[in-house]
Structure 1
């Protein structure tokens, strides 16, 4: 469980505009050390933009992003990675022509100069991901789900303290989704804090210690999953006015 007194990440008044669209509008929240925090919202809510702002892929118009007390707003993604924040992507794009272990080693080189040590770490992570027997397979020959796990392994190889995960069960079968949920919990057990964006509400509600919900660029709810799912503002955002007050 998380330590409620320790904020690893503090997002303060974060805003981003694209032309006339304010994709993120003065969003603020804390992420506690050791927590799995789910970020929910309907399509177009601003989740991915907020995610990309934290990872450094977009530059915020205003606000602050404090990681372990240090403002990382405006830093390059590579510097944010070295500071201790890693991310996965919704669409997995492994390096074709490289083996599974070589793909994970790419992440390890963010901190390690020794090829031998990078390979050792990559192999340990492949075993953690139940992919040790596929270590020498060309990444292009892996299943879509195994490619997703390779992406996770490459992020973990950077030795992050905070992992940002983008829709990790999109397109997965029920058994694959269950395996990924178990892996996310094991990632947290390694001492890594997790912020996860997900459309599948059932998955995120069962996985997260706490959830935050965005709609039209604004943060509309923040709390325990079973309370947030009954919030009239959340029900309206997902289902329309007719669902306000409906128990789910």
Structure 2
């Protein structure tokens, strides 16, 4: 028995593999390669063919605009605008009306008023919601180009705030038409340096020349004594001795 087992083991150790044994060993490797190829092809096809379709959603931002109307207080004529800028003269009262427009109904916005090309506005209005209006009077202190800019939201700067019906600036009196009042004893002028009228000069002459019937008071000498006629003295010629002898 022992010899038989030993012989069998010796036969197994010395036998050469056949073709069936090689195919059996490589069959699992081929199966793995096929599975890998199928998975790679399926992943590639899914990558390029997959797509996600979602319904389109529109996102619209709130817009805010202000319509500006400026009337000249002296004549009531509207001031023309040049690309949102207005040329205003100093010491003239302008009636400004601002009307808000747009879709920012919840918070609204304000209007920043300042000089052209300036970094900070001179002043700003209170919150004006779309559909609302604000009016105020503006008297510029300098002749310049002013801008009115609509801004959505709230103001966070340091400029002055305007309320409805406010008056910005103060009108100065016009001194160009006033005549200069001369001091006492000087003729009046019309502002151009010319001396007063002939009537004023005549009045001055009348004031300096006393009337003819007025006599100077006692104890005072006349400023202008009367002129007396002075006759030239005639010198008597001196007679010589020859003239006296002939005369005798």
Q: TM (normalized to structure 2)?
A: 0.18
Considering Cα pairs closer than 8 Å and 6+ residues apart, tell me whether 1 or 2 has the greater RCO.
Answer: 1
Q: TM (normalized to structure 1)?
A: 0.18
Relative to its length, the structure with more helix (as a share) is 1
Bigger radius of gyration among the two: 2
